[in-house]
């Protein structure tokens, strides 16, 4: 039995905690290093790196001035130009969960419906295929996790795509975490805690984030140069636990909205 559970997405960490798989941790080091909105208020899991789920666009067909918010991707100008990944993926469930929290259920549902109405193609199984489709001209805009864009840049430095940071005048960009907690059946909870504290340290944070092209959860640690090159942005500071708390509501909402 593993001592530490490390996984992606607050939605997954929240589920693990709800199922009683993770124990509560008390650590001044973790609380100092990891901002409050990136960890469980009950101390059962901690974000270790941050990914942004943001807008990606075709640089030859879209100017950043045409973009503004996630919500605006549902406006008529994007009819037949939007690509989305499947609603079955936890990343989109977490995005919609935070929209329910921020906008209210009625408005969030209207936004998701307007996205569906603008789809250029059926939904994609992953973010990389979605970006390849934009690159190939099937659609002009989409929503992806920042690190997939980085992986694509590694394959083709001249890829005619760019990231856009939406909602800078209101709640900010939707972010999520990769994180960890100590398992209930850990045989070495003290060593497990030391490992978590080390993973949150300045020294480890830069390396973890760089490995997956993510942003360090520890705000005192700069991201890798490639990630810095995508520009700075205001991130949503809503606690990422909302991704778990409202996950079921998000799934139901997306189903009602016809988002497959
Ligand atoms: Fe991923």
Whether 193 maps to a domain, the answer reads: yes
95 plus 203 within the same structural domain: no
138 and 252 in a single domain? The answer is: yes
Residue ranges of the chain with per-residue pLDDT less than 50: none
- Rounded to the nearest angstrom, the distance between the alpha carbon of 128 and the centre of ligand 1 is 10
At 225, which helix (H) or strand (E)? helix 225-228
In a domain, 101, yes or no: yes
Centroid of ligand 1 to alpha carbon of 109 (angstroms) = 25
Q: Is 228 exposed, middle or buried (0-12, 13-18, 19+ CB in 10 A)?
A: exposed
**Ligand 1 centroid – CA 156 distance (Å):** 19
Whether 8 is covered by a domain: the verdict is yes
Largest CA distance in the chain: 57
In total, how many domains does the chain have?
2
Q: Verify that 61 and 100 share a domain, yes or no.
A: yes
pLDDT tens for residues 198-246? 999 999 999 999 999 999 999 999 999 999 999 999 999 999 999 999 9
In the reported structure, the alpha carbon of residue 28 is separated from the centroid of ligand 1 by a whole-number distance in angstroms of 30
CA 127 – ligand 1 centroid, Å: 8
Ligand 1 centroid–CA 46 distance in Å is 18
Let me know if residue 135 belongs to a domain: yes
- In angstroms, the CA 21 to CA 175 distance is 24
Residue 11 CA to ligand 1 center (angstroms) comes to 13
The Å distance, Cα 231 to ligand 1 centre, comes to 21
**13 alpha carbon to ligand 1 midpoint, in Å?**
14
Query: The domain that contains 37 carries what CATH number?
Result: 3.40.190.10
For residue 232, being part of any structural domain is answered with: no
Average pLDDT, the chain: 97
Q: What is the pLDDT of residue 1?
A: 60
Indicate whether 62 and 167 sit together in one domain: yes
Residue-range definition of the domain harbouring residue 81:
52-172+242-256
Expressed in angstroms and rounded, the spacing between residue 51 Cα and the centre of ligand 1 is 9
pLDDT at 2: 84
User: Percentage helix, strand, coil, to 5, in the chain?
Assistant: 45, 20, 35
CA of 36 to the centre of ligand 1 (A): 23
Same domain, 101 and 183: no
């Amino acid at each position: 039995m593993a001592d530490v559970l490390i996984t992606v997405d607050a939605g997954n960490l929240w589920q693990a905690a709800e199922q009683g798989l993770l124990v509560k941790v008390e650590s001044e080091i973790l609380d100092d290093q990891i901002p409050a909105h990136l960890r469980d208020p009950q101390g059962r899991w901690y974000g270790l790196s941050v990914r942004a789920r943001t807008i990606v666009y075709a640089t030859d067909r879209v100017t950043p001035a045409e973009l503004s918010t996630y919500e605006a991707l549902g406006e008529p100008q994007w009819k037949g130009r939007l690509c989305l990944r499947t609603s079955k993926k936890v990343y989109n469930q977490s995005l919609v969960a935070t929209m329910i929290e921020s906008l209210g259920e009625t408005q969030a549902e209207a936004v998701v419906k307007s996205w569906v109405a603008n789809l250029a193609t059926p939904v994609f199984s992953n973010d990389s295929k979605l970006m390849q489709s934009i690159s190939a001209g099937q659609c002009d805009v989409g929503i992806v996790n920042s690190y997939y864009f980085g992986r694509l840049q590694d394959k083709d430095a001249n890829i005619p795509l760019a990231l856009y940071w939406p909602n800078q005048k209101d709640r900010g960009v939707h972010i999520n975490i990769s994180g960890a907690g100590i398992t209930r059946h850990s045989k070495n909870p003290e060593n497990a805690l030391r490992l978590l504290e080390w993973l949150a340290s300045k020294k480890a944070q830069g390396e973890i984030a760089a490995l997956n092209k993510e942003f360090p959860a520890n705000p005192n640690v700069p991201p890798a140069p490639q990630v810095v090159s995508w520009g700075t942005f205001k991130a949503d500071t809503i606690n990422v636990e909302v991704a778990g708390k409202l996950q079921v509501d998000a799934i139901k909402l997306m189903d009602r909205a016809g988002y497959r």
